[in-house]
A and B are shown apart, each in its own frame.
Chain A
């Protein structure tokens, strides 16, 4: 018997109209049993209308060590936010 079954990440859509959200992970041999395990583990109280399952190894993530390089450049572009602009008094609903 092999050790360390595949790790699958579980995403739950709590109801239609909302996005899937990460819930946790399960170990399984294949996708089919991963869905069943995720159902048993993460949706015992009607938490889901849909499940997404993917192998954890297939996730491509940004490097937490590069947070600065990746995301700081947005900080000095405050003109991308509506609050950067002043509007004359009396202008409503803009």
Chain B
């Protein structure tokens, strides 16, 4: 997911070993008092005292979430000039603008934790920061734009709704805003897929092919099973996270399978079966080697995505320089008057 911990075990370990410079890190009293506040349901606000690790975890998670929104514009941006109708083009533009907006809400929230936006963006451009693996998959046909809205935004909603109650106020508030807008994204995607599924046999085949390619990567968005992860349980204790990756993944599958059935599309999983006893779908094994490979080498599109973000930063230099020059000129004029 956009907020899933994408660090390798090695990275997690080295972050844990890093001795944080503030004395508060070792201040057991502060930790206790902080945990008590969390347990009682208090919301933590930007200037409140907090353990350094809580701050670092949130910073990583929120900035990664922001980067995911920003990079998430790229596969869709590619289709703006190729959208089949003017209506679809307008909708797609609005959706992409929303994704930019989500990125900005989230950068704002992350900044309240004491890191500048320029630094966070620099981390994305240098390749140091991570973003959701899903955006490193190509979107070579129009049906993919539908599938991305339906599955990717659908998965994002499942993940983000509990984040609206995250213990960190600025993040939770940004999530409320994001969730409100996200349901439009999912519906417009499902509508595209519906139109194709009810169209010509070729169109239906296109929708099915797209579902085949995006189903498993969408399930991977929730991250590996975290039942054994100490980081995950700490995040639960701090109420940064409310449900395990597996619980959210199951929730997504249970909601999505009937949506595919209604359209006469087949989920590409031979082991997918309704389990009466659990009241949930059983599903096949996820190929986590693919997930870790995409994180490590960027998959099919990783290099392209970063190249596109770097080009955007470079192409925008003159715009920012002009804005700065304009302000300087205005203030010089005012002083002269």
Residues on A facing B (Cβ under 8 Å): 1-4, 7, 23-30, 33, 40-41, 44-45, 61, 63-65
Contacts and interface: CB of A to CB of B under 8 A. Distances in A.
Interface of B: 45, 47-49, 94, 97-98, 101, 104-105, 108-109, 111, 116-118, 173-174, 177, 181, 317, 320-321, 323-324, 326-327, 330
Nearest to B320: A1
B101 A2 contact: no
Of B45, B109, B111, the most chain A CB neighbours within 10 A belong to B111
Tell me if A's interface is mostly helix, strand, loop or mixed: mixed
Contacts of A61: 47
Of B45, B104, B109, B177, the most chain A CB neighbours within 10 A belong to B104
Contacts of A65: 49
B48 A1 contact: no
Given A2-B324, A30-B330, A64 B49 contact: yes
Given A3-B118, A64-B45, A64-B47, A24 B327 contact: no
B163 to A, nearest CB: 16
A25 B174 CA distance: 11
A-B CB proximity, top 4 nearest: A29-B323, A29-B327, A25-B108, A3-B118
Contacts of A41: 101, 104-105
A29 B324 CA distance: 6
B334 to A, nearest CB: 11
Nearest to B94: A44
5 contacts: A4-B116, A24-B109, A24-B173, A29-B323, A64-B47
A3 B121 CA distance: 12
A24 B118 contact: no
Contacts of B317: 1
Nearest to A25: B108
Of A2, A24, A45, the most chain B CB neighbours within 10 A belong to A24
Given A25-B111, A29-B327, A4 B101 contact: no
B101 A7 contact: no
A79 to B, nearest CB: 27
Nearest to B122: A3
